[in-house]
Chains A and B, each alone.
Chain A
Amino acid sequence: MFEIRQDGDYLRLKGRLDAAQAAGAESAFADITAGALLDMSALEYISSAGLGLLLKTHKRLMGQGAGLKLVEVNPHIADILHYSGFDRLFDVTREK
């Protein structure tokens, strides 16, 4: 199960962003129209399908001047972001 919802200044991601869930999350990411802070503290898992969704959204937003910032990233997701080279593309922090 995957959820994305507004929580104050943050968009809070929760659950597992796997290939099955990423398909259903496409429209929620398409609704992001300006640079955004993604609270990843409750995101348990991400696969290449979820990474693709983050990349597609970030590229679209960066074309308008400001992309996604990933905050409170747990250690194993931080590793995946690193191995994917995403820590070079996104502003990634372990803390808020």
Chain B
Amino acid sequence: MAKEKGSFLRINKKLIAVVAALGLLMGGTSALSASAAEKKPAKKTTTKKPAAKPSVAASPAAPVKTAQQIAMEKEIAALKASGKPFQYWVGLIFSDIANSAATGQILAWGKSRGIKVEPVLVNQNNLAANVTAAVAAGTMPDALDISDTLMLQLGSKNLLNVQALSNELARVYGGWNQAAANFDKADYAGKGLGVPYGISGNLINRRLDLLKEAGAKTTAPKTWEELMDSATKTMKVGGAGFALGNVGDAESVFRAQFVGYGGRYADDAGKKCTIDSKATRDFLGFVKKWYDKGAYSPSAVTTDGGWDNNLYLGGKTVFIANPGSVYTTMVNGSAAWPKNPTLAKNTGFSALPGGPVTRVAPSNGWLRAVSATTKYPELAQDLIRYLMKPENIDVYYEWAIYGPALKGYNKFEYWDENVDPVHGGLFDLATAGTSSSFPDVNNAAYAQFGTEFQLSKMVQRHLLDGDSADKTIAEAQAACQKIYDANNK
């Protein structure tokens, strides 16, 4: 018993030590944090002008109907009475300045309406998990930024139809650019569920200096064969910095190549899968040929979303497909990489090459949507209307890597490729790009096939597991049909 007592006393001492250590740690952390805050890290110098203050001038160019005004006033009163804030989930993107601009504008809008707002930056990488739980729990925000893929999966059950707002914005700001207009087509399954505000897609970045040194063509590759040929001529192994794993980067590049070789997931009705085709065999033959020739890096299988960026910025590859974050990093620096103007100068940008059948410039959309569960639909639409005002979106576009959704935004100077080559490329994508689903029907089954990385998995089975093309295609066809059947029930 005495021994036990002694042991307990020792424990007490240890407990005190643990608490003290934790206290010291927390105190130290705060102190260090405070000291760091006092010192303030050197402000990031950029070649661009700083974000302007958001405009808080009274809203839309379009006249607001009295009924709308009345409804909004009621909603403002109800929101104030609830004591809760109006919540908007902002898609946390690559640029801190763009994130700050978006949250600043939302706060400014709240102030102008005299209400409490809570803009929450939600990492786009985790948005699907957050939205899934929020939908089940009934805790969806009032409005949110959402990808076209997730929007299709949520559908009209979870999102409010904002077609009238979409029409109003198109009327006031000169209509939708081609890529955004894809979300407004009569046969689009998600029509009216969101207001497109950003168009993204891949551009090929190529190392001009390395290509020149190796005696390869420095001009933009027109076909995937040409690109792979230059890559293997310039770098013995890994010249094509394309991923092979289950990541969006791999799936999007494979999709462009697959379509280039004439492939498509399903028929015109969007119901019967057509993976088992000659086009798919040609596509697999193309990937296998260049994989065997060493075009892909050995680390291409185990990648994360930033693998290709790091490979390129670290000088370890010749070509990558990137939506613009690499250029932004080279010019402005990022949390991970310092500026590299020399590499920026030695980089050429071009649209994705084509295959023997066709050439596509797939574009994806980011949209602003209103939750079906919101009690404040008029306020939500008023906020979207406010965010879409040219003077507000101008600040956002300048730092985000999105192309313009509405024609009224095409006047901004940075879309000129001589001013900014990546914004120039994004402008081309927005004004001339095809839907990411082309030539397939853009429905929930199409979205699920992509989010499950089915194309990448098919390639992996052929390249890495050594399964025959016929076997892998048969498996992919079966998986595809299962997805389409489930979604078409």
Say whether A associates with B.
no
Which B residues fall within an 8 A CB radius of A? Answer: none
